[in-house]
């Protein structure tokens, strides 16, 4: 343009110039220009069909500019253009020739309610400067001038109903088609909109500075959210949803984000050398990041000691919806440091009197204090982690003190720890949190290998590459106390057991071996025990149980069911629980053939069995049999094949009328008794409701 004003003089436009290409890339196509120097109306006219690059295309740019002679200045000219497929934009243009080049000033006041100006200076050597300023610009009319394809892309985040005011100051400088420096300051006031993101009376300010040095772009960003509500959706899909973060400076303090880094387009390399995040006076975090060709390579994060209640509520809870951690009460503080390079990670987390409690009373952790560490550089470090107590579904454990050794792939318990549990103890012999592949490689010799999961992890959900491994021994614990803690009907006696290695990952818990429980002077062995999706609402448990030599006298000592003497054994095959309720099983329990114990059953127990079998209660309260408190029996047994909520009942033998005998006649001492089921099918829901009424005393039965 400088050359045009200096030397060209023609009343007719020149021939179209060929497209101008640059390395930015920036392409200018269809250039026509001319100058009419007639004394009556000297005019500069320019036409450019298209300018593309920088992610936007300018179409049909026309300039009609009256010239002031002899200075060749343009006053109150008209500039028209379109951005992509947007509406026609008009500006008031002023051009002035200087000793070094040309100054261009554009004002868009006719388009917008408030001032928006563009100022361009171009030197004869090809250097240029651009500045765009706007003050008190209303968002609503701004939306109307955005190109249509931009509106479609932005509609989810910037709807046409957005309101508020914006101030901006954007400047850039360069040489030819190369940008050397750019700076932008954008501030909003009373920003309101509702879309994927949302704002209510938000006040924000952002400052961006960019420099181009040898093809590397260096940038610095400073942003602050000072007032009003701001809801931001990062775009990370969790459990099928897109959680968002709610920022409320009046409640949590102003949010400040500061970052500096670089971008190398030739290598596809992004580097954030320092990212600082602060919120009020309670949050201070720093991070660094390197991304090459879309893949994270190096990452660092440090978090100063932070109140965990606020950290959880603002930054963590939105991403935990649908998990057991989505409704917690918390106290204490947490600090961490993480450095990740390629496949190596170095992590330590400090717990400072941290307590978390599930508001649904599923678990609670009290007074966690100490450090855990992971990483090759920390391998061999030993740290102590102490807790005042742990409660799992009503079971109280602790206090305890664990000694943990750091490993390159996780951490592991250094020595066994004895954790109090009611009036007994759970002795943790092995405990480790390891990367999944390393955990499998470190499987304990003699244990069965872990078969690969088949379809347990949804393909669309990312899996955490971690496994928790736990093994231990349960010393005898009072069954009445255990039942009270779990909210179950009371049973007499004590329970103990051996827990082989439990392997727990995000989508599955399994036992590598057989779980052995000793109770009622017998044994229950659980084989192939597996819990799928343990953190989902419909968690599923599958196992097979082998039951031997259960002493019915100990089992029925509490008395609400009635007293039974003898032994019981059998199996539960194909047991499946969903949401901890049985949905399938093949149960068979009966007096073993080698039973050498007296076999006696109380009147109350007969009534309880009769009620469960569909014969009603109180059947022995009439006639001759009412004078006896207990009776002899031959064999006692019950079976249930559960399919689709219906239990097909079996017993110790088939009755002549086609029914099922649950308690057969026999024994050494009269009187003798027999109990039959009135039908062969009954709904599982009905069975559990009858049992609940018996255990709670709602169903009237004779005393034992």
* 602-612 tens-digit pLDDT: 888 888 888 88
pLDDT (tens digit per residue) in 621-636: 344 445 567 888 889 9
- Which residue range(s) make up the domain with 525? 520-696
The answer to whether residue 421 is domain-embedded is no
The answer to whether residue 571 is domain-embedded is yes
Cα 527 to Cα 454: distance, rounded to the nearest angstrom: 19
The answer to whether residue 560 is domain-embedded is yes
Query: Of 86-90, 147-151, 317-321, 582-586, which one has max mean pLDDT?
Result: 582-586
When divided into structural domains, the chain yields a total of 1
* Structure confidence at residue 537 (pLDDT): 60
* Structure confidence at residue 78 (pLDDT): 86
* Structure confidence at residue 446 (pLDDT): 35
* Structure confidence at residue 296 (pLDDT): 81
Q: 507-543 burial string, b = 16+ CB within 10 Å, else e?
A: bbbbbbbebbbbbbebbbbbeebbbbbebeeebbbbb
Token output for 186 = 């954008």
CA distances from 249 to 131, 226, 478 (A): 32, 6, 52
The answer to whether residue 476 is domain-embedded is no
Helix, strand, coil distribution of the chain in percent, nearest 5: 10, 55, 30
655 Cβ contact list (under 8 Å, min separation 6): 661, 676
* Structure confidence at residue 325 (pLDDT): 83
With 0-12 / 13-18 / 19 or more C-beta atoms within 10 angstroms meaning exposed / middle / buried, residue 563 is: buried
Place of tokens 């992890």: 457
Token output for 340 = 């990740």
pLDDT at 574 over 70: yes
CA distances from 250 to 166, 246, 255, 402 (A): 21, 12, 11, 41
pLDDT at 340 over 90: no
The answer to whether residue 524 is domain-embedded is yes
More confident residue, 432 or 703: 432
Find the farthest-apart pair of alpha carbons in the chain and give their distance in angstroms, rounded.
137
Whether the pTM exceeds 0.75: the reply is: no
Cα 695 to Cα 683: distance, rounded to the nearest angstrom: 19
pLDDT (tens digit per residue) in 373-406: 888 888 888 999 999 999 987 889 989 999 999 9
The answer to whether residue 483 is domain-embedded is no
pLDDT (tens digit per residue) in 290-318: 998 888 888 999 999 999 999 999 999 99
pLDDT at 435 over 60: yes
Percentage of the chain modeled with pLDDT above 70: 83
Cα 152 to Cα 146: distance, rounded to the nearest angstrom: 10
The answer to whether residue 99 is domain-embedded is no
Least confident of 29-43, 108-122, 568-582, 676-690: 108-122
User: Would you place residue 154 in the very low, low, confident or very high pLDDT band (cuts 50, 70, 90)?
Assistant: low
Nearest partner of 190 among 204, 180, 179, 176, judged by Cα: 204
The answer to whether residue 568 is domain-embedded is yes
Cα 136 to Cα 365: distance, rounded to the nearest angstrom: 52
Cα 302 to Cα 171: distance, rounded to the nearest angstrom: 34
Nearest partner of 250 among 280, 282, 281, judged by Cα: 280
pLDDT (tens digit per residue) in 208-235: 999 999 889 999 999 999 999 999 998 8
């Amino acid at each position: 343009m400088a050359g045009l004003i200096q030397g060209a003089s023609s009343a007719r436009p020149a021939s179209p110039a060929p497209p101008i290409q640059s390395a930015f890339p920036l392409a200018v196509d269809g250039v026509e220009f001319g100058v009419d120097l007639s004394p009556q109306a000297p005019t500069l006219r320019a036409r450019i069909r298209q300018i593309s690059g920088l992610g936007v295309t300018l179409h049909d740019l026309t300039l009609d500019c009256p010239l002031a002679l002899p200075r060749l200045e343009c006053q109150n000219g008209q500039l028209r253009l379109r951005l992509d497929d947007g509406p026609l934009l008009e500006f008031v243009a002023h051009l002035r020739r200087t000793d070094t080049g040309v100054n261009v000033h554009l004002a868009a006041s006719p388009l917008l309610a408030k001032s928006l100006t563009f100022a361009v200076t171009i030197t004869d050597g090809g250097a240029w400067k651009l500045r765009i300023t706007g003050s008190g610009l209303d968002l609503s009319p701004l939306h109307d001038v955005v190109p249509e394809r931009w509106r479609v892309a932005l509609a989810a985040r910037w709807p046409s109903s957005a309101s508020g005011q914006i101030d901006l100051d954007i400047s850039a400088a360069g040489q030819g088609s190369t940008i050397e420096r750019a700076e932008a300051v954008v501030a909003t006031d009373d920003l309101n909109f509702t879309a994927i993101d949302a704002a209510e009376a938000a006040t924000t300010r952002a400052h961006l500075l960019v420099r181009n040095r040898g093809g590397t772009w260096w940038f610095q960003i400073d942003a602050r959210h000072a007032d009003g509500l701001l809801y931001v959706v990062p775009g990370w899909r969790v459990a099928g949803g897109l959680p968002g973060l709610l920022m409320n400076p009046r409640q949590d303090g102003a949010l400040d984000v500061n970052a500096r880094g670089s971008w190398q387009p030739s290598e596809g390399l992004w580097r954030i050398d320092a990212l600082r995040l602060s919120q009020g006076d309670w949050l201070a975090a720093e991070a660094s990041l390197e991304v090459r060709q879309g893949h994270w390579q190096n990452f660092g994060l440090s978090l100063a000691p932070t109140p965990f209640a606020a950290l959880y509520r603002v930054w963590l809870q939105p991403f935990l919806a649908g998990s057991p951690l989505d409704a917690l009460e918390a106290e204490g503080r947490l600090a961490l440091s993480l450095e990740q390079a390629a496949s190596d990670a170095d992590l330590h987390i400090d717990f400072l009197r941290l307590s978390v409690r599930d508001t649904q009373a599923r678990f609670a952790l009290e007074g966690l204090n100490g450090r855990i560490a992971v990483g090759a550089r920390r391998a061999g470090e030993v740290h102590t982690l102490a807790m005042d107590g742990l409660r799992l579904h009503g079971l109280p454990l602790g206090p305890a003190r664990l000694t943990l050794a750091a490993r390159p792939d996780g951490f592991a318990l250094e020595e066994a720890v004895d954790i109090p549990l009611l009036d007994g103890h759970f002795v943790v012999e092995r405990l480790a949190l390891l990367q999944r592949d390393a955990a499998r490689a470190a499987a304990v010799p003699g244990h069965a290998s872990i078969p690969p999961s088949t379809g347990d992890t949804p393909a669309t959900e990312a899996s955490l590459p971690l496994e928790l491994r736990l093994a231990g021994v349960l010393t005898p614990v009072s069954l009445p106390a255990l039942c009270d803690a779990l909210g179950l009907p009371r049973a007499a006696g004590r329970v103990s057991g051996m827990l082989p290695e439990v392997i727990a990952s995000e989508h599955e818990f399994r036992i590598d071996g057989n779980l052995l429980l000793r109770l009622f002077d017998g044994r229950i062995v659980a084989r192939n025990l597996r819990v799928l999706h343990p953190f989902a609402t419909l968690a599923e448990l599958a196992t097979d149980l082998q039951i031997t030599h259960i002493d019915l006298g100990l089992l029925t000592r509490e008395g609400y069911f009635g007293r039974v003497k003898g032994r019981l054994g059998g199996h539960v095959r194909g047991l499946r629980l969903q949401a901890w309720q049985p949905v399938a099983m093949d149960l068979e329990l009966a007096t073993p053939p080698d039973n050498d114990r007296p076999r006696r059953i109380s009147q109350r127990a007969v009534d309880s069995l009769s009620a469960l079998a569909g014969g009603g209660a109180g059947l022995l309260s009439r006639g001759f049999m009412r004078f006896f408190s207990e009776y002899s029996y031959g064999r006692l047994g019950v079976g249930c094949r559960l399919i689709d909520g219906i239990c097909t009942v079996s017993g110790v033998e088939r009755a002549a009328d086609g029914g099922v005998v649950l308690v057969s006649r026999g024994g050494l001492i009269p009187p003798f008794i027999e109990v039959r089921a009135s039908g062969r099918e009954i709904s599982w829901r009905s069975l559990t409701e009858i049992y609940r009424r018996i255990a709670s005393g709602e169903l009237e039965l004779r005393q034992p």
